[in-house]
Structure 1
Amino acid sequence: MGIDARPYREGSLAVVAPIAGSPAEKMGVKAGDLILHIKDEKKQVDLDTMGMTLPTAVTHIRGDRGTGVILTIYREGVDKSFEVTITRDEIIVPSVELKFVEKDGKKIAYLELHKFGGRTDKEWTIKVGEIVAARPVGVILDLRNNPGGYLDGAVFVASEFLNSGVVVKQEGRSSSETFSVDRKGNLTTVPLVVLVNKGSASASEITAGALQDNKRAKIVGEQSFGKGTVQEVQDLSDGSSLHVTVAKWILPSGRWIGKEGITPDVKVEDDPETKDIDEQLDKAIETILN
């Protein structure tokens, strides 16, 4: 269906980000939405999500291709909750997409990273090669609605733009580990802007925060999600599961991602009324050119 979700502090389920091009995104599900209720007549599911564990919610939301599920959504700024009917489908999304934007006779590379997955490194390296060959005046790295993924993917991507320095520290109760730039990047000097929003989480926040703290990039967009913990899942005897926080992600400046997420250098809110205009991308282009 194409939703990355996390348990929310009030006990419901929060959408971190809909996957680009997924059935959920096409039906208007947005980052930050709260899923209050799941209904699927075929599976005989009709349940509130309050207190529901994430694995249980995933089991209820997933289903056969072509079947439907009804989600009751609460969205900040909307007076009443509303229902969204989503038809399940197979989801195949590339980790990385690249295009070039022409503005005032200048070429800018626009690099969208949808997830930090197992194929990210290979796809990323191919796209970076295309950027190097094109010699653009700047790069825009779009991490909006990227829910994260592997830590080593975040270190790999950040290392593309940094000559040296700390990327992130994993701080546990009794030990800590520092992850630093681990390779020679190909884009260490080109002007860089990173786009984030409230759907940017986990590895996305590590990458954006490392580039911001090392003064390598300007961050444009909205406050990110704030997923700054490492959790282990413990299965309980009654069939439920317990998520236990075992460590925190600390950025080079000492900031904890989980406290408030990444604060943009240039704040630009997405205007839902202007679907054909991407104000955040426009500001990123303007920032590169200036």
Structure 2
Amino acid sequence: MVRLIASIVGAAFVLVLGIALFGSISGAITDPVAPSAESVAHKHPKELELASNGVFGKFDRRQLQRGFQVYKEVCSACHSLRLVSFRDLTKIGYTDPEVKAIANQWVIEQPSINPETGEPATRKNIPSDRFPLPFANEVAARAANNNALPPDLSLITKAREDGTAYVHSLLTGYTTQPAALLKEFPDIKTPEGLHYNPYFANLNIAMPPPLTADGQVTYADGTKPTIEQMSTDVSAFLTWTAEPNLEARHAAGFASIIFILIFCGLAWGAYQNVWRDVKH
């Protein structure tokens, strides 16, 4: 009797689930969800070819230095790089004296304490210091950026889907809101203080276009500083900050594959040698 009741209850439960599933499917077919402005206008990041792409990719040091220059002259006013030290710049081709000069001349100084008075003070940066924060705290950062908090860029290419391509597309994607989109979705007009960018998740971003004109940065190596070039270079630099050991990882992976192939060859040879006189 107990088994019969359990079977009836189980069958009823399955029936209810089936009815609910059928209702959900039929509802989705007969009354589909209307597309949103984000789903219609949001764009997938454009492909970006860099020397570091691929299994055998290596960083282009000259490009990384150009990217650092763009970060220094354009991005550092709002965005921090708190996981990177000045001395790490030696890994992208700067000499120790150059790194020391960059740290010493950095606009923002390190917070410190006056040993004589005990009052808060600042001091010049040294190579072992990490890049200083552009704002004292989150409140100050929001107050200076229309209540938006500029993200730290140390790991930005790891923290975003299609990281490097996303950064490049975002920097070059600012445009006016399409009239056709406004006609279809009149309620999504870009609010005052925001900027339309189809590569941003909700289409409207608080950050104004950081790269506004060709020649905004004067490259030391003579490369023509177009908006496309500057955005590519700073994207490459931020790829390095997120994964500075990329080249070592690629080399280790390649060496591991070679070792496995040699080991498999030796194992096969040993197998053939041990069992060569055994009749099947």
Using the size of structure 2 for normalisation, the TM-score is 0.23
Pick the structure with more strand per residue.
1
**With structure 1 as the length reference, what TM-score do the two structures score?**
0.22
Which is richer in helix? 2
Larger radius of gyration: 2
